[in-house]
Structure 1
Amino acid sequence: MTAPIPLLQARGLEAGYGASEVLLGIDLSIEAGQVVTLLGRNGMGKSTTLKTLIGDLTPRQGSIHFGGTPIHGLRPDAIARLGMAVVPEGRQCFPNLTVHEHLVAFADQRNGQRDSWTASRIYQLFPRLKERAQNLGNQLSGGEQQMLAIGRALSTNPRLLILDEATEGLAPVIREEIWQCLAQLRAAGQTILVVDKYVDRLLRLADRHFILERGRVVWQGSSAALDGDRSLWKTYLGV
């Protein structure tokens, strides 16, 4: 039987900034419907990997295919139109747009697919956003902005949702809401790539994990394998 083509596949990615080499041959693959994480200490290449995948940084070597289409070298807007959406670190909500405007300004129904993420469905996922629908982006709490950043990304009905430190700096009760949201998205079949530091929660959420160390993938495997080898946590994650 022929193996399915991964939704996202990166091979031999090398990238950096100026004379600095950060990624030294990253291999990464994500199957449709999977939740996958990028793990590692700060400065090991996680953010650079994400920037390269979404087109903010052009790889110096290697290839990236999304849905079978080569995307290395494409602009970020072209990659986004193919169905990749990112929830950026720091949320980056627009201060002069209301919550509702965030959820309709970037909407893409992707050819009328069933169970599309409309504004009304996003309000069901995050009732707090419905209560704040007419508030501007800069009138929201940090947790509300994070919900809005996720909702804005979902409004594009992405084939792949990327979350960069989605729970960073949030109060525990709000962080729990975000984890519950991600669990619901997984149950709905949404393909997700996550960068986050809360390994215990990621074990319950993700199918596979990739650990980066100095710009290379040094380990990859299932949640069960990562849970069963806590020496990996100490060696590569500082946990």
Structure 2
Amino acid sequence: MSKLLEATGIEAGYGASQVLFGIDIDVKPGEVMALLGRNGMGKSTLLKVLTGTLKPMRGSVRFEGADIGGTRPDAIGRRGVAIVPEGRHVFPNLSVDEHLRAFARPRAGAAKQAPRWTVDALYGLFPRLGERKANAGNQLSGGEQQMLAIARALSTHPKLLILDEATEGLAPVIREEIWRCLATLKAEGEAILVVDKYVQRLLPLADRHLVLERGRVVWTGDSAALDADRGLWTRYLGV
């Protein structure tokens, strides 16, 4: 299977402080990849490199075979990469409906294809947003803001959806709704790179997992292998 996203030998950091050391990661079309590790191990830094908000010191990033290393975030977004950032970053003065209409665009390279994630389809995925379509971003709960951030990203019809801390800080009932959404997206063939700490819930969702420890890849494998090695959870994931 061809690789949708491929990063090789990524070294990156902030000023004189190096955070990532020779990271290799790839995501195939229609695949769900989980990026795991305890806090401070380099996951968010790697996502910044992949989305263009941090230039790597060394290494290459390719998307659909094209070199996107050093490309601006907006250009990477137009190629078909969408991120749901940690902290959600919804606009406080825009309504739910305005969020979904303002950012909507067809999938890159598929202008003649009927849009999959119309506003109505997004309300079908997240009925709670449909009930609050007139509410401003700052009138939503944290869970509703996370739903909106995911829906906003989907409205761009991404080829790759990236979620940084997909269910962090959410109430259990809202977490379940996010997991349901991600399972639906997987069934529809969406390629997803997801960061989350709930390993047990990632097992049935993710096709492969990559574990970071102090900016290095210490393990990669499929869900069956991760499920079988609970010692790995204790050593590297704090579970």
Both structures adopt the same fold (TM-score exceeding 0.5): yes
SS at match of 1:64: strand
- Cα deviations by residue, 1:29-62 (Å, 9 ceiling, x for unpaired): 1110000011011111101000000001001100
What stretches of structure 1 of length at least 5 have no aligned partner? none
What stretches of structure 2 of length at least 5 have no aligned partner? none
Q: How far 1:113 moved relative to its partner?
A: 2.6
Aligned match of 1:54: 51
Moved over 4 A (4+): none
- CA distance, structure 2, for counterparts of residue 125 and residue 100 of structure 1: 14
> Which amino acid is the alignment partner of residue 21 of structure 2?
L
The answer to whether the aligner puts 1:39 opposite 2:50 as a matched pair is: no
Aligned match of 2:191: 191
Equivalent residues in 2 for 1:108-187, closer than 5 Å: 108-110=105-107, 111-114=111-114, 116-187=116-187
State the superposition RMSD in angstroms.
0.8
- CA distance, structure 2, for counterparts of residue 40 and residue 112 of structure 1: 40
SS at match of 1:204: coil
- The question of whether the paired residues in 2 share the 8 Å contact of 1:14 and 1:61 is answered with yes
Q: How far 1:214 moved relative to its partner?
A: 1.0
Aligned residues: 236
> Which amino acid is the alignment partner of residue 128 of structure 2?
R
SS at match of 1:193: strand
- CA distance, structure 1, for counterparts of residue 51 and residue 217 of structure 2: 19
Aligned match of 2:71: 74
- CA distance, structure 2, for counterparts of residue 149 and residue 114 of structure 1: 22
Q: TM-score, normalised by structure 2?
A: 0.97
Q: How far 1:23 moved relative to its partner?
A: 0.5
> Which amino acid is the alignment partner of residue 5 of structure 1?
S
- CA distance, structure 1, for counterparts of residue 178 and residue 91 of structure 2: 20
Aligned match of 2:10: 13
SS at match of 2:100: helix
Q: How far 1:114 moved relative to its partner?
A: 4.0
Sequence identity percentage: 69
